[in-house]
Amino acid sequence: MELENKIKESLEKIRPSLQADGGDVQFVSFEPESGLLSVRFQGMCVGCPMAAMTLKQVIEAEVQVDVPEVKTVQAV
């Protein structure tokens, strides 16, 4: 649960910039064995052509700084 809370705190730092463009991101799950974080895009992020770039260059990069146990992030 501690890692999950750290991940959620990290996502909270990212959410305002997504919300400013009408989107959002939601924590879905984290698999500690593989380091896989699953998130769900919401609002304008759903179907956005920039979502894949946002996922890797913004969300994954930022969360990995705060929680190095996260190895990769995927949208579900």
For 35-76, write each residue's pLDDT tens digit: 999 999 999 999 899 999 999 999 999 999 999 999 999 999
Helix, strand or coil for residue 57?
helix
54-68 burial, b at 16+ Cβ within 10 Å, e below that, comes to: bbeebbbebbbeebe
Single out the residue of 42, 36, 47, 34 nearest to residue 14, CA to CA.
42
Q: Which pLDDT score, from 0 to 100, does residue 71 have?
A: 98
Confidence check: pLDDT of 1 > 90:
no
Q: Which pLDDT score, from 0 to 100, does residue 67 have?
A: 97
Domain of 58 in residue numbering reads as 2-75
CA–CA dist 76, 73 (Å, integer): 10
Look at the chain and count its residues: 76
> Per the structure, how many domains does the chain have?
1
CATH code: domain of residue 69: 3.30.300.130
Indicate the pLDDT class of residue 32, thresholds 50, 70 and 90. very high
